[in-house]
Amino acid sequence: MSALPIYGEQGAGSREQYAPARAESPALTGGYRSLLPAPCSRSGVALRGAGLADVPQLEILMAPYVASGDLLPRSNYDLCRHIKEYVVAEAPTGAVIGCGSLKVYSRDLAELAALAVREDWQRTGVGGALLAALITEARAHGLTEVLALTRKPAFFLKVGFAPAEREHFPLKVWADCTRCPRNTCCDEIAVTLKL
């Protein structure tokens, strides 16, 4: 099995990890779920697809970010219903220390959402590894663009995302923004990456 390196490790941090996936690449045929069970750093952090047993830890992980307004609230029901969209970073202790999801809107577009890393694991490369895994998954699906709505655009801009107007993504606006409690006072910035 292949593993994704944490940023700062040998082989990490180059743009090559964002190179387009080839359909014939055996490592990508199963998406990130086939890439991630192995540890992805010498600290023993592993990335894997989320399961229903992770929902309580996801709620705890996201709670401070929901409280600060950096993430929108997700109910237990929503997490359970969309669990297949999530990838988690797991510490050697088995604790979920990071997560992110890939929400597909069309054959061309998906959103990177719910990207969060536990505070004591920030700046260790876990967030970058989660982002890389989700981009790999998007490419494996043949998507041509991913977007993120964020209050911290610098994280995305440093790996090649560009600012965008949310009006360019009517599927996202129609599906989510119109129902969002912050719709009329949203302070998130849209960023996009062409794949």
Mean pLDDT of 42-52: 88
Give the closest residue to 70 by CA, choosing from 155, 157, 133. 155
Give the containing element (helix H, strand E) for 63: helix 55-68
pLDDT at residue 56, rounded to an integer: 98
pLDDT on residue 8? 37
- The radius of gyration of the chain from alpha carbons, rounded to an integer in Å, stands at 16
Q: How far apart are CA 65 and CA 162, in angstroms?
A: 23
Task: Determine the average pLDDT of the residues in 139-158.
Answer: 94
- The per-residue pLDDT for 18 is 32
pLDDT averaged over every residue in the chain:
78
The pLDDT-based confidence of 1 (bands split at 50, 70, 90) is very low
Q: What fold characterizes domain 15-143?
A: Aminopeptidase (3.40.630)
Say which DSSP state 19 is in: S
What is the C-alpha separation between 150 and 29, in angstroms, rounded?
A: 29
- Spatial contact of 106 and 147, defined as CB atoms under 8 Å apart: no
Which of 33-37, 109-113, 165-169 has the largest mean confidence?
A: 109-113
Domain locations along the chain? 15-143
DSSP strand pairing (109-117 vs 145-150):
parallel
Place of tokens 């669990």: 83
